[in-house]
Amino acid sequence: MRVAFYNAPAFTESALRYRLNPPLAPAILAAIFEQAGHEAEAADLEALGVGPERLARSYAAQRDRWPDAIGFTVCSFAAQGAEACVRALREAGYNGYIALGGPHITMLGRGPVDELESWGADAWVVGECEGNVVRVFEERQRGLIQGVRAPIESIPAPLWAKHRPGVGVVYAGNQPFTGHPEWISMWSRGCPHACTFCPNVVFGRQAIRRRPAAAIREELAGLARRGIKSVYVYDDELIGFPGRHNDWLADVCREVAPLGLRYKAQGRCSERAVTPDVLGEMAAAGFRAVQWGVESFSERVLDALHKGTDEGDIWASLERAHAAGLANGLFMMVGSPGETVADLEHTEECLRRAQARGLVQWLQVTVCMPMPGTPLYAQAVAEGWYREPPNERMVGAYMDTPTMRAADIERWRLRLLEATL
């Protein structure tokens, strides 16, 4: 069986500049199918600038060369692009098997599937699916299918040799810390926390699952041989969990240090878990930065979001990372339910203090977005303030909350960005 896995485009006719990093899922799924004896390939349609019309034209021009089955990985911001691609292929006459998966499909699959049924796909796979995806495709299973989680040590490294664009293609906007175009790698999966806004909550609260250090080193060595110099460790959160997680992370750092690569990762602020020792191991291995999910400095807002962190955790993590020689990136969020001007003024003051002390090198401020399947979405619907996004880009504030108008939320988003300029 010939199979292709596509990352759906976020915009109708996109371009490389919209992508920050290559997607992991299509290349991992391609590797799984190759292991099972099938012919597989992967492509990032958005990075290739392939929208629905171009995809349909490609099929019409090369019908005999097209795969027997196609899988689309769908994030929420690419949902309309994925739907348009499936419809365009069906209208062009493609009658092969089409399955949809990924975070957005999982979120929609937890509720009514009317929207999914209208897309024209054969199957919608929810949750992690490495444990049964080959069987789903081989048997042409239809309808809503629950994915089966595979042991993380059994998941192969991404099949970058069959991925388009090829390894080394510059994805824009992804190199402020490492100084080189980055590629991407997964070292662990799972998060035991339940932040109300996080789309990953639809996969359920999970114990952290960690890949063996030797397997990680082998994958990274392959990237180094292809000329990659910098890697984004794209885990839910690589650092921020105490005990044996830090022991494992230190072991991995010592294993990969001889490769001479540069790294950045995402982290969870924790005074207990973000220790000088593990940060030192990361710096010695080649880490240049950690991007922290801070969201707000207001403990009232953090509690409402069920973050499980407080202001002390934030300051300790920023200060210790800075002392270890790592740059700090901050993910901030405005427009959380119940957030007030006083909360935002406190966050702004903290950002200015952190900037003055050299603790912030990069800042992203987004608008709190209730995503289907999350507790925040259920809250917004129940309280009557949820509004559908006006377009698939979902950029900027468009929804009033019980405590703030959308226009004021957008002004505060821009104001916080200016706090670190």
Question: Mind listing the domains of the chain with CATH numbers?
Answer: 2-152 (3.40.50.280), 174-418 (3.20.20.70)
- Give the pLDDT of residue 13: 42
Give φ, ψ of 36 to 5 degrees. -85, 5
- Token pair 């293609």: residue: 169
Structural element, H or E, at residue 189: strand 188-189
Task: Kindly report the length of the chain.
Answer: 421
pLDDT on residue 175: 56
CB 160 within 8 A of CB 31: no
My answer on whether omega of the bond before 165 falls inside 30° of 0, hence cis, is: yes
- C-alpha distances (whole Å) from 135 to each of 131, 196, 291 are 9, 33, 37
Query: Do 71 and 29 contact (CB within 8 A), yes or no?
Result: yes
**Structure confidence at residue 77 (pLDDT):** 78
End-to-end CA distance of the chain: 53
Q: Give residue 48's pLDDT.
A: 87
Q: 2: buried, middle or exposed (CB in 10 Å: 19+, 13-18, 0-12)? A: middle
Reduced to 3 states, what is the DSSP secondary structure of residue 330? Answer: strand
Taking only the tens place, the pLDDT of each residue in 347-364 is 999 999 999 999 999 999
User: What CA–CA distance (Å, rounded) separates 278 from 253?
Assistant: 9
- Residues 248, 305, 361: CA angle, nearest 5 degrees: 60
Low-confidence ranges of the chain (pLDDT < 50): 12-18
Residue-level pLDDT at 112: 54
Distance CA 126, CA 145 (A): 6
Report the C-alpha gap between 151 and 157 in whole angstroms. 13
- Closest by CA to 293, choosing from 240, 222, 243, 343, is 240
* Rounded CA separation 335/409 (Å): 6
The Cβ of residue 341 has, within 10 Å, a number of other Cβ atoms equal to 11
Tokens 């444990």 belong to which residue? 131
Instruction: Return all residues near 170 (Cβ < 8 A) that are at least 6 apart.
Output: 16, 181
pLDDT tens-place string over residues 203-248: 766 789 999 999 999 999 999 998 899 999 999 899 999 889 999 9
**Amino acid identity, residue 151?**
P
- The single-letter code of the amino acid at 284 is A
